[in-house]
A = this chain, B = another copy of it.
C-alpha cells in the first residue's frame, strides 16, 4: 500500500449511529449559517470529516438528510415545551409559558432557531399549542362559538411569525415583541 493513499473503512472507535449523528449535527450548523441551499453536501460532509460520496452511504438525498435534521431538532425542543405547557393556571398562562419556553430553547441552542427558520419546518410548538387549546375547550375556557382548530391555528400563526421575527430583530427588540405577544394572548394589548 502506498503511503500517499487515503484511509479506507470506518475509523476505529466510531459506530454507524455516531457517524449519522455527526452528519446531522454538521447539517444543522451549516444550514443555520448558510441556509438550506447555501449549505452544500460537500461542506456538510467536510464538517463531519468525510467525503460527500461517503455521506450518501448514510442519507440517500439531501432532502432526506434535511428531514432527519428537522426531526432531530424537534426532539430537542418538544420535551421542554411539553413541560412548559403544564405550568400556569389559566389557558393564557399556559400559552404564555410555552411561548416563553420556546424563546429560552432558542437561547440555549443558538443554531436551532436559525435552522428552523431556514428549513421552514412545522415546529413542535404547533403540536403543543393544539393540545392547550383542545384542553381549554374541554374545560370550557374557550367561548363555545369559537372553532377550536381555528383558535389553535391562530395562536400557532402568531408563534410562527414570532420565530421568524426572532431571526430578523435585535435580541432587545425581539424581547419587547414577545412581551406584546403575551399581552395580545391575554387580551390586553389594545
Chain A contacts to B: CB under 8 angstroms: 36-37, 90-92, 95, 120, 122, 136, 141-143, 146-147, 149-151, 153-162, 164-165, 168-169, 173, 176-181, 183-190
- Nearest chain-B residue to A156 (Cβ)? B161
Main secondary structure of the interface of A (DSSP, over half): helix
How many protomers of this protein does the assembly include? 2
Is the pair A164, B153 in contact by a Cβ cutoff of 8 Å? no
A179/B150 contact (C-beta < 8 A), A187-B188, A190-B187 known:
yes
A161/B169 contact (C-beta < 8 A), A151-B189, A187-B188, A190-B142 known:
no
Is the pair A157, B153 in contact by a Cβ cutoff of 8 Å? no
Is the pair B146, A180 in contact by a Cβ cutoff of 8 Å? yes
Task: Jot down 10 A-B pairs with beta carbons below 8 A, ordered by A.
Answer: A141-B190, A146-B183, A147-B176, A153-B173, A157-B158, A157-B160, A157-B162, A157-B164, A186-B187, A187-B190
Instruction: Output the least CB separation between A27 and chain B (Å).
Output: 17
Is the pair A181, B160 in contact by a Cβ cutoff of 8 Å? no
Instruction: List the 6 shortest-distance A-B pairs measured between CB atoms, nearest first.
Output: A157-B161, A187-B187, A150-B176, A160-B161, A154-B180, A161-B161
If A156-B165, A157-B165 are given as contacts, then 15 extra A-B residue pairs at C-beta distance below 8 Å, sorted by A number, are A37-B37, A90-B190, A120-B164, A122-B168, A147-B176, A149-B176, A153-B173, A154-B158, A154-B180, A156-B161, A157-B164, A157-B181, A158-B158, A158-B161, A186-B190
